[in-house]
Amino acid sequence: MATTNRWFVVGISGATCSGKTTLARKIRDNFPGSVMVRQDDYFLPPDDPRHVKVTELNHLNWDLMTSLDMPRMHSDVLRILESKDAARSEKSMLILDGFLLFRHKALTDLCDRKYFLTLTKEQCWGRRKDRAYDPPDVPGYFDKVVWPEYMEYESEITRDTELRATITFIDGSNDTKETYETISKEISQLLS
């Protein structure tokens, strides 16, 4: 649960290109006073020694926790949660968006609601192949790294029965407007 009753924390995770950030932005934009923190903003610089190289692709593995500065993200989140004006009575919402968010137990434990967006491999590739990344995906990166890492992450979550019980799984191929409306209604009820 969130560290303070002045904040309602929503965690959104799942497959790459499943609509996590779109959903997080819609929630932020439609709930006044909301703050959003994106795991993608915490990637380490390419020259950081903590990166793991995929030798056969001559490319870094950007789909591991070691490619992210999670201590800094956690610290930023705690600073936000502690920053709310104590005199205000209404809750504000903090939205955490990340493709590996629920691998970080301390952040996961802060979430009042957790959503995990899924896609099939074909749906995921269909969306990812047209996206531009910095650095760009090299040929074979999706099949060799992105999809296997996602499958391992999803498997970890589903094997952890305690964690799985706290997560709402959503088909990321569903209509984004419909998904947002369902989640928005749920959050509104929880905030009232």
Nearest Cα to 77, choosing from 153, 10, 166? 10
For the stretch 41-88, pLDDT in tens is 999 999 999 999 999 999 999 999 999 999 999 999 999 998 865 445
- Whether 155 has a pLDDT exceeding 60, the answer reads yes
**What does the alpha-carbon distance between residue 114 and residue 95 come to, in Å, rounded to a whole number?**
10
Taking domain 7-191, whether its CATH number is 3.40.50.300 is answered by yes
- Domains of the chain, by residue range, sit at 7-191
Beta strands in the chain (DSSP E): 7-14, 35-38, 53-54, 59-60, 92-97, 113-118, 167-171
CA dist 145 → 109, 120, 170, 181 (Å)? 27, 15, 23, 33
- Whether 182 has a pLDDT exceeding 90, the answer reads yes
pLDDT at 1: 40
In 114-172, alpha helices (H): 121-128, 141, 147-159, 161-164
What contacts 95, CB < 8 A, 6 or more positions away? 9, 10, 12, 24, 27, 28, 34, 35, 36, 37
For the stretch 99-145, pLDDT in tens is 999 999 999 999 999 999 999 999 999 999 989 888 899 999 999 99
What contacts 68, CB < 8 A, 6 or more positions away? 39, 42, 43, 44, 100
- Whether 91 has a pLDDT exceeding 90, the answer reads no
**Whole-number average pLDDT of the chain:** 92
Angle at 180 between CA 164 and CA 158, to 5 degrees: 15
46 upstream amide cis, omega within 30 of 0: no
| 2-6, 109-113, 143-147, 186-190: least confidently modelled range | 2-6
